[in-house]
Amino acid sequence: MPELKCTVQTCVHNNQFLCSLDSIKVGGENARNPQETCCDSFQERKEGGGYMNSMQNSMHSSMHAASDCACVDCKATQCMYNENCECHAGKISVEGGSASDSSGTECATFKCS
């Protein structure tokens, strides 16, 4: 289970550069470089969505404390860290500062094998 750091502040699961999910999905079946990968678990954070939304967001973050490790189910099988669609890197970094959908994100740790 890799240590997961994520810079995607526009994602609802992001909590101070950590991910509140226990497992994430990374896409990029034919990826040959980091730009061709993406975090399929990305969900856009809707700001200003009214009281109920912000209540739900804060409940969500307090109920799911973000940890720095997550299981990574990864489709980027060309990556040297990929073994049977599981990531075996010690640490990964998901990036995409201003992403509004999953295609704006990437696994920056991808290395072509």
Residues that bind ligand SF4 (CB under 6 A): 26, 37, 72, 74, 76, 79, 81-82, 87, 89, 92, 107, 109-110
Nearer to ligand SF4, 8 or 89 (CB): 89
Spatial distance between the Cα atoms of 79 and 76, rounded to a whole number of angstroms: 6
Nearer to ligand SF4, 20 or 93 (CB): 93
Cβ of residue 96: shortest distance to ligand SF4, in angstroms?
A: 13
Cβ of residue 70: shortest distance to ligand SF4, in angstroms?
A: 10
Dump the DSSP string for 12-54: TTEETTEE--SEEEEE-TT-SSGGG-EETT--B--TT-HHHHH
